[in-house]
Amino acid sequence: MRDRPRPPGQQDQSDPTDPAGRQAVVVDALLGFTVFAVVAIAIGAGIGGGDLPAVVAYGFASVLGLLMLFRRRWPLAVLLLTAVLLIAYYVVDLPVIGLAVPVAAALYSAAVFDRTRWAVGTAAALVVVSTVARLAEGQDPAFLLGYELVSTVAIMGAAIALGDGVRQRAEGARQRELIAVLDAQAREAESAELLARERARIARDLHDAVGHHLSVVSLHTSVAAEALEEGSVDAPVARAELRHVAQAAREGLRDLRSTVRALREPRGGQGAGDGIERVAGLAHLDDLVASVRAAGLDAEVTGEGGPGLPGLVDATAYWVVQEALTNTLRHARAEAAEVALERAEGTLTVTVTDDGTGPLPGEAFGERCGSGLAGMRERVRMVEGTLEAGPVPGRGFRVRARLLLGGGA
């Protein structure tokens, strides 16, 4: 039986060079000493027990305390070992130290590190085993099933509830931080795409407004130069001047085309296949999915966009996936999501499906279908695509965008 990997964002106490790791070691050492001290005080009270020397009981107390040093790396193992040690402690007939207090720290740690079900099960097993054994020994049922049982369950339940509450708050903070990062990335991608569109618009306007006139100048001056060759007095000078004009016009046209290329390809020619600077695209999809997994959403990608996607289509496909997964994290209460990419017949289809149960309590369904989806529809429309979004039969939500590979060209 192995512990699961630590949840993302939790520090590893084993690195003494990491300030957070050093702090974790200090906290665990203090907790271990507290466990030892509490158990040692109970042992010192000397209630009950057989003929074994007290040093054996203090040995148990030391081991229970030392286990707290490993509660972050192996929380489940520490919980189970604590339970086994507690049972062994009473089997060898050592002084009474209670049931809930020695195991409370282990129950709390298990709940903090996402082993709440194991903590509840272990606590229940200890209570049942202890109660049955003590009843078999002839102890007072009224006391055991009354004050003793209530106080034990209360302490254990409080430890588990506290640990689970701390875990949920930490996970909520990590998720909010990730959502903020995704929002910032979305805004950055949107600004970059708007800049790319503006460059493309300026390039088209310059070419249409200036390029045409320069072409006309070049054409007419060339014709004039040919006409003057018939024998005018100033024909040699006129021809020379007109040739200079024609040459200047041609050079101006060449310079204009160079400027247009610079506007379209600000990174020295990257993205020449579509004439538009590439922003974040499907090449960054793995990084996006990894960050979403870190927030607790089991996201998978199937299919691929394929090579040579137009820049705006590539950026729009990535943006749709990012927005859909962000909405899933915010509103869906989902455990898993699938991103499917399919390229066929001049179309790239992007589908994001989650298994969420819907909006959070008190949140209207329209909040999920509000500005986020409206923004997606507008973005997809700008590249001549279509967007569908809505719940799927049974459970979940689906966003599907169909993007024309020639869209936005």
- What is the structure's pLDDT at 302? 94
What's the alpha-carbon Rg for the chain, to the nearest Å?
36
- What is the structure's pLDDT at 187? 87
Phi, psi at 355, each rounded to 5°: -110, 30
Cα-based angle 203, 208, 211 (whole degrees, multiple of 5):
90
- What is the structure's pLDDT at 275? 39
Q: Which of 31, 34, 30 is nearest to 42 (CA)?
A: 34
Residue 308: Cβ-neighbour burial (10 angstroms; 0-12, 13-18, 19+): exposed
Report the alpha-carbon distance of residue 255 to residue 206 in Å, rounded: 12
Tokens coding 284: 């960054």
Residue pLDDT tens, the chain, 409 long: 445 545 444 444 444 445 567 888 888 889 889 888 888 887 777 655 556 667 788 888 888 889 888 888 888 998 999 888 888 887 877 777 777 878 888 899 899 988 889 999 988 988 888 888 778 777 788 877 888 888 888 989 998 999 999 989 988 888 888 898 888 888 888 888 887 777 766 665 565 445 545 655 665 676 666 666 655 555 666 666 677 667 666 666 665 665 566 555 554 444 434 433 445 689 889 988 888 887 778 999 999 888 888 888 888 898 899 888 888 887 778 899 999 999 988 899 999 999 988 665 544 444 445 456 777 888 888 888 999 999 998 889 999 999 998 765 5
Q: Which of 112, 94, 97, 23 is nearest to 65 (CA)?
A: 97
pTM for this entry: 0.48
- What is the structure's pLDDT at 300? 94
CATH class of the 280-404 domain in this structure: alpha beta
- What is the structure's pLDDT at 369? 52
Q: Residue 258 carries which side chain, given as an amino acid letter? A: S
- What is the structure's pLDDT at 270? 43
Is the CA virtual torsion 73, 79, 80, 86 positive or negative?
positive
Answer left, alpha or beta for residue 277, where phi above 0 means left and psi between -120 and 50 means alpha. beta
Residue whose token pair is 């708007």: 194
Residue 190: Cβ-neighbour burial (10 angstroms; 0-12, 13-18, 19+): middle
Q: Which of 399, 379, 380 is nearest to 388 (CA)?
A: 399
